[in-house]
Structure 1
Amino acid sequence: MVGGIFTAHEGWRHNPRYHHGDFELIICTKGELHLKVAEQDYTLKPNDLLLVPPYTLMRGTKPSPGNVEFYWLHFILPSNTQLFESTGSLTLSDKDVSPKHILIPQQFKLPDLDFLTILIHQLLNTNSENAYDRKMANYFMTMIIINISKLTLNQLDFKTRDSERINRLKEWIRTNLYKSPTVQDMADVMQLNPQYLSRLFKKVVGIPPKQYVLQLKLHTAQALLVKTNLSIKEISANAYFDGEKLFMRQFKQMTGMTPSEYRAQFDEIYHNNQVISPTLPIPEEITKHLKDVPDFGEAPQDS
């Protein structure tokens, strides 16, 4: 429906906002947000996600102690969407060939934001002037939801010995990416044979470890391209590539465009700040079912 990047200074507090028929996804990237959704209090810190359900009043509970930044995305889900108090009654796994559920928790700590940042910026760069753009926006929002669900299921389902070992290795790779670790380095850390490690990694993650390292570097570069004004040379170095030319060649192989072309497509993303709060144009498909609903503030009172 609509979304943006919101920034505010110390002392900002979220205005009361009633969600009509839409969900809102809030992803904190800087500072702290203090919110109340219905009767539940939440504190969001960097990498924290909050899903606000429809027909719910949300408001700030106290001023932010410092500068704050977050993504906000409003979207509509099918009418048969269910809300659960817990997942105990569901059969959930990210290994299902035909998964029956996409699970979005109300609050969730994301392991990292790099890949989601790329998808969010692609979504926010898509306008809704024609049917193709609307289809693209729906596609990117669906990808964001599916990736959040996958991360959630990974945390619920990754309890086997192999998955736990590879999860630890992925975290080691992330913290040692600046060394450009080889498969032998990983095998030494895990005390495994390199060939066996490669097979195990691909079984759990879906791609070989060498490709995973490159993918992580490229995702880092993409995030830097859309979130900073660093030069291409600086981004190459900060994404741990061995030289600007290699970076540009591998980036184009993955994305089909140069780093400069990739950055240029995100020039028109809607940013707002504490002076202009996130606004929500209610779509016709919702408003035609509502009567006398205020655009902002408290929920309508029963007569």
Structure 2
Amino acid sequence: MPYLFCPFQPAPHADNGGCAILPSGWRHPRRRLDSSVMILGRKGNVTLTDNGVPLEIRPNRLVLLPAEHLHDGAAPIAAPASYYWLHFRLPGPPSLLSAEEVAPILSNQIVTRLRLNEAALIPMELDLGDADRIALLFRELLNEQERPSYTKWQFQLLFQNLLIRITEETINSYHPPDTLSAGSSLVYEAVGTINAQLTDPNLSVKSIAGYLNHNPDYIGRQFRSVMGMSVGNYILQQRLKLAEQLLQETHQPVQQIASQTGFASLRHFLRQFRKERGMTPSELRRRYQAMHINIR
């Protein structure tokens, strides 16, 4: 079953939605849209196909119809049916991941948090554990559409919240396969090695490869495939994350924090911190302290 990978930057855009109330004998029209559609079943069953693959809309099930796919009703419905629908657009063509590509993302919590930190992941079909919560979000979107607030961003924020909640359902309902690919298992080992040796300034893909007894190029390719970034960038981001924590929670000098987080020099730490965070470590510390002053 394919999954839609939906980054939040640039942000996806919700167009419009509604609630379909359908009589017996109705059949979904054959069409190819330039927008994607999310559907939440409310009553009855509606069968259709997406590029020839059968799908079924039924109560408490979310169905995704990606843009540019050919959608067609499989047969007239036997009894009255109803569902919520929402059209939305992505900045580019839909990015669909196979079940094999999704498995290493959802089978490890560290990978899940990294890959989905700024993205949604929506399967083509999802039986919801908390359908009432998702239905409430659909109704809030429709209410905002009919009685809009002073800003159009309210509708888009509700849509992004819906994407987040659906992704939570996707994560919580996922059952990992009994066995993962050798490449995925190797990446998990690499992540564990990085986290354990993060403060070592000599940590690199070459040293990790030696520790795991694998070819550096192979580890690098597998890591990028699973994690969506290079080994070097992952090491950098984890070091900066640790540095931020030390800047906020301790009074240690910046130079000491640079050394404790694996940077070979203070100069390199300052350059990378400013490049990635848009400010110096001292500026971040001052801002954090200014927002967390306790008045006694």
TM-score relative to the length of structure 1 = 0.47
TM-score relative to the length of structure 2 = 0.48
- Larger RCO: Structure 1 or Structure 2 (Cα < 8 Å, ≥ 6 residues apart)? 1
Which is richer in helix?
A: 2
